[in-house]
Amino acid sequence: MFCKVKKTTKLHNFVIMVSERRDILESILKIEQIEKYYGNKSSLTKAINNISFEVQEGEFVAIMGASGSGKTTLLNVISTIDKVTSGHIYVAGEDITKLKGNKLNQFRREELGFIFQDFNLLDTLTAYENIALALSIQNTAVKEIEERINKVARELSIKDVLNKYPYQMSGGQKQRVASARAIITNPKLILADEPTGALDSKSAKMLLERFQYLNDTLKATILMVTHDAFTASYATRVIFIKDGKVFNEIYRGEASRKEFFDKIIDVVTLLGGDLNDAL
């Protein structure tokens, strides 16, 4: 009981802290006391147990946690792939937990960009067509599709793989194509689920540098789920999740990536063995 009160107080402080920042930047994502339960009364799993936080425009947030900590569930409910049991999620002021049917699809299509661990490219389409699909389902004109793909391909250095099929590309290339598909619609929020999970370290580094570029130069808002401290160190803020709750969060501020990485490792150590195993 005592423990719960303590947590709430901590959370309270956090909310105040965030609301102070609100004056400076507009809040893109606002999560209010969401819960997600699985199972029935006899065996209830609380995948998310009262989480609240906000993400401002232009932020690059990493969510860290061990397997089973609820981080993927969190991403799923933000991306409307899954529904919350209680609480509210606002994206650019709109409560997406109230959305239904085609409104949901429309929201996903227009406001969100997805990057998955296993790329999720369509194997029958070329890279170009995969990227174009995100625009063509929004009825974008052919000429504009072409212009935007050329632009994004330059930014993500995938110009030379545009006419290749997924099976002809390396993991890093596939993930950059997937990223291109995610950002081409100019979404308010880019959601990335373990984007480096299936990549070797060199490709991972290259991808993360691209993410940084998107965030710095193009002011893209990115929310990334990972269990890898190195990946998280590219973010501007890291939120740690344990057992369905926010455990801690740290800002990068003016620190270098290396210093931030060390800070993350400190928290991970504090978090306990679970995440260490995953490192």
Partner 1 sequence: MMLCKLSLKNIKKSFKDYTIYFFTLILGVAIFYVFNAIGSQTVLINTTKSTYEIIDLMVNMLSGVSVFVSFILGFLIIYASRFLIKRRNKEFGIYLTLGMSKRKISMILFFETLFIGLISLIVGLGVGVVLSQLMSILVANMFDADMTKFTFTFSTSACIKTFIYFGIMYLLVMLFNVYTISKCKLISLLYGAKKAEKVKLKNQVICTIIFIISVIILGIAYYLVTAGFEFLDTADKIFIPIVMGIVSTFFIFWSVSGLLLNIFMSMKKTYYKGLNSFILRQFSSKINTTVFSMTIICLMLFVTVCVLSSALSIKNSMTANLEELAPVDIELYKMLNLTPEDGENTNAVIEDSKFSVRDTLEKNNFNISEKLMDVVECYLYKEEDFTLAKSLGGNLDEILKKYRYLKYDSLQNIMKISDYNKIAKLYGNETYTLDKDEYLIIADFESMILIRNQVLKENGIITIQGKDYSPKYKECKKGFVEISSNHINDGIFIVPDDAVDESMQYGNMIIGNYKAFDKDGKRKINDELQKITSKLWNKESLISMNSKIDIADNSIGLGALVTFIGLYLGLIFLISSVAILSLKELSESTDNKMRFLMLRKIGVDEKLLNQALFRQIGIFFMFPLLIAIIHSIFGIKFCTIVLESFGTKGLLPSIIMTAIFIVVIYGGYFLLTYYCSKNIIKEK
User: Which residues lie near partner 1 (CB under 8 A)?
Assistant: 79, 81, 101-102, 105-110, 112, 114, 116, 120-125, 129, 132-137, 139, 142, 145, 165-167, 181
Cβ 70 to partner 1 shortest distance, Å: 19
**Identity of the residue, 142 or 270, whose beta carbon is nearer to partner 1 in the bound complex:** 142
3-class DSSP assignment, residue 225: strand
Measured from the CB atom, the residue of 86 and 105 that comes closer to partner 1 is 105
H-helix segments, 44-118: 71-78, 101-111
Question: What is the smallest separation between the CB atom of 37 and partner 1, expressed in angstroms?
Answer: 18
- Taking the complex as a whole, the smallest distance from the CB of residue 122 to partner 1 amounts, in Å, to 6
Q: Closest separation between CB of residue 219 and partner 1, Å? A: 22
Cα 71 from chain centroid (whole Å): 10
59: closest CA among 265, 221, 232?
A: 221
Closer residue to partner 1 in complex, CB, 139/201? 139
Query: Using CA of residue 174, residue 193, residue 228, residue 22, what is the dihedral sign?
Result: positive
Q: How far is the CB of 75 from partner 1 (least distance, A)?
A: 11
Provide long-range contacts, Cβ within 8 A and 24+ apart, for 52-55. Answer: 52/11, 52/14, 52/15, 52/87, 52/246, 53/14, 53/18, 53/239, 53/246, 53/249, 54/18, 54/22, 54/27, 54/29, 54/30, 55/27, 55/28, 55/29, 55/30, 55/189, 55/221, 55/223
Return the number of the residue (123 or 254) whose C-beta is nearest partner 1.
Answer: 123
Any residues with CB less than 8 A from the CB of 176 and at least 6 apart, and which? 156, 157, 158, 206, 207, 210
**Strands 27-39, 44-56: pairing kind:** antiparallel
The CB-of-133 to partner 1 minimum distance in angstroms stands at 6
CB-nearer residue toward partner 1: 108 or 242: 108
Compute φ and ψ for 174, nearest 5 degrees.
-60, -45
Minimum Å gap between C-beta 85 and partner 1 is 17
Tell the smallest beta-carbon distance from residue 129 to partner 1 (Å). Answer: 5
Q: Which is nearer to partner 1, 131 or 268 (CB)?
A: 131
Instruction: State the greatest distance between any 2 C-alpha atoms of the chain, in Å, as a whole number.
Output: 62
Nearer Cβ to partner 1 (143/258): 143
Whether residue 209 contacts residue 235, with contact meaning beta carbons closer than 8 Å, is answered with: no
Nearer to partner 1, 153 or 238 (CB): 153
Structure tokens at 243: 């057992």
Per-residue DSSP letter, 57: T
